[in-house]
Amino acid sequence: MPLAGTLTRFDPAAARRSVFQALLDARAEHGGDSIAMVDGDDRALSYDAIIRAAFALGSALTRGTRAGECVGVMLPTGAAGAIAFYSLSAYGRVPTMLNFTSGTAALKSALTTACVRRVVTARRLVDKAGLGDVIEALSDFEVVYLEDVRDKLSLADKLAAVAGKFVPRLVTARSRPDDTAVILFTSGTEGQPKGVALSHENILANVAQVRDRFAHSREDIMFNPLPVFHCFGLVGGTILPLIAGIKVVCHPTPLAPKDIVRRIRAHSATILLSTDTFINQYARSCDAGDMDSLRVAVCGAERLRDETRITLRKKSTVTLVEGYGVTETSPVAALNTLEDNHPGKVGRIMAGMEAKLEPVEGIHGAGQLHLRGPNIMQGYIKPDAPGVIVPPPDGWHNTGDIAAIDDDGFIAIRGRLKRFAKIGGEAVSLAVVENIAAALWPDYSHAAVALPDGRKGEKIVLVTTAPDARRTDMIGWAQNHGVAELSVPRELVLAQSIPMLATGKTDYVSVQKMAEAEQGAAS
């Protein structure tokens, strides 16, 4: 296992270039023959191979489009997704990352919101993921398959690859740092996804911020199973390791715990990117020693539960480091470190950022978290105003999360404001409700939602897969641990499974519908 390595001091000037130029600079720094990425089929790609493919495919993929145009990318994590992203970026187009698990309606909404005409995908993905009906429904858009483009590369495309390798400035678009580099979409856990426009500077500032906070070395090997349509998977798991010279091993889906554990061991990975939900699955699937090469697992996107730490500790010595981020912050906004790791908190905000808490009625000792800094998005693109980027007021992004900040600057996330129920004038965190259930029934999944209640405004309903779950047990746990009884749900609903998004987050829109349907059936 390698040592933790070194930090790279945060330098805002490092962000004043394009994402593709940063890849070219990384090749010059780390060597064109160096292995940069290992695909899901264990095929290794050097920096030269990635850049050569990006120039050749980009020449073909962007033909018939204009500079600055958004082009859809519907591909899994791996070489194809990375090369498609850099292909479009090299020629000044805006990769628009599409969640192919979100369904036809959400995909059409995303394409319309970003004014996309062309979508890049792969026949292998369509066949393997059963997306034939989705592709058929996208008949109003031009769907381009990577396999077809690769097989029909023209002489001009091949010459572009050669020229790009030796004199990239003759081929690369002159993108400015404040140009839009990518469009991603919010996860849609609580409603219709919005487009998030990130500039080249936003992304590269966040890469520099993470390198300033997280010690790493050229000996590290990152394992990334997170989707590239998710900001954590794209920036943290693809762009950052390529720039830092960390070999990244890609896996096309986070939903294959046995394969992931096997590949972590086979490649002696030292850094894992994950979420609480996924790493819990990996811990349950692995045998002793399978993940011993890992020195750290960086977890974000959702709260890291104590139950997950306990489960993993039985199987591995890996240290769990929790961070906090959202798509709008490119994505990392706060991060613990190996040397100063505070379980239950998400670390301090990143270098160059400001944070403020706005009071919220009914919530004590915490406030609504607002953030500002070089990694804050250009703005939202909303479905009712396609193509229009609306910047955050005065550069401040309202995260919608309730947080507390201690005297040392460490942040504790209490939950999303929308994830609080109003009961008799008091704000009750639905995350606390889920914590009680997880403590009592750690081997099962739980999700709490709020439904209208004529007497107290709202009532809490817990949807759970625990067959023996009882409200009386939750009352007893709350009393024994000093938790207010308001945090005990009024009703429990037994489910076969809890709906999840591809990013590892709970699909609360679907959970809400389950609870409403159960209430309707009971009335």
Q: What is the DSSP string of 79-137?
A: HHHHHHHHHHHHTT-EEEE--TTS-HHHHHHHHHHTT--EEEE-HHHHHHHT-HHHHHH
Determine whether 267 is exposed, middle or buried from the number of CB atoms within 10 Å of its CB (0-12, 13-18, 19+): middle
* Nearest CA among 435, 444, 498 for reference residue 469: 444
What does the pLDDT read at residue 379? 96
Measured between alpha carbons, how far is 413 from 355 in angstroms, rounded to an integer? 13
pLDDT at residue number 286: 80
**What length does the chain have?**
523
pTM: 0.85
DSSP 8-state code for residue 260: H
User: What is the domain partition of the chain in residue ranges?
Assistant: 35-175, 182-416, 424-522
Q: Which helix (H) or strand (E) holds 482?
A: none
Span between the terminal Cα atoms of the chain, in Å: 59
- 3-class secondary structure, 171: coil
What pLDDT is stored for residue 162 in this prediction?
Answer: 63
| β partners of residue 496 | none
d(CA 8, CA 10): 6
Name residue 360's amino acid. Answer: V
Contact 242, 31 (CB under 8 A): no
For the chain, 523 residues long, the average pLDDT of each consecutive 10-residue run is 63 90 94 95 94 88 90 95 95 94 87 94 91 90 90 73 64 86 79 87 96 88 94 95 96 89 92 87 82 88 80 81 93 92 90 92 84 96 93 94 91 82 77 88 89 78 92 89 84 88 77 82 58
Domain pair 182-416 / 424-522, same fold: no
Measure the CA–CA gap between 443 and 346, rounded to whole angstroms.
Answer: 24
Q: Write out the CATH class of domain 35-175.
A: alpha beta
**DSSP H helical segments within 191-238, as ranges?**
200-213, 231
The predicted structure's pLDDT at residue 180 = 97
CA angle, 81 then 234 then 231, to 5°:
135
**What is the CATH topology of the domain spanning 182-416?**
Rossmann fold (3.40.50)
Pairing of the two strands 446-453 and 411-416: unpaired
Peptide bond preceding 331 in cis form (omega within 30 of 0): yes
Contacts of 38 (CB under 8 A, 6+ apart): 44, 45, 247, 248, 249, 250, 267
The CATH number corresponding to 424-522 among 3.20.20.80, 3.90.1720.10, 3.10.150.10, 3.30.300.30 equals 3.30.300.30
Residue 3 has what pLDDT?
47
Sheet with 397-405, edge to edge strand ranges: 354-358, 367-372, 397-405, 411-416
Are the C-beta atoms of residues 346 and 336 closer than 8 Å to each other? yes
| Joined tokens for residue 506 | 């709970």
Bridge partners for 182 per DSSP: 198
Round to whole Å and give the CA distance between 308 and 282. Answer: 10
Give the separation between CA 443 and CA 441, rounded to whole angstroms.
6
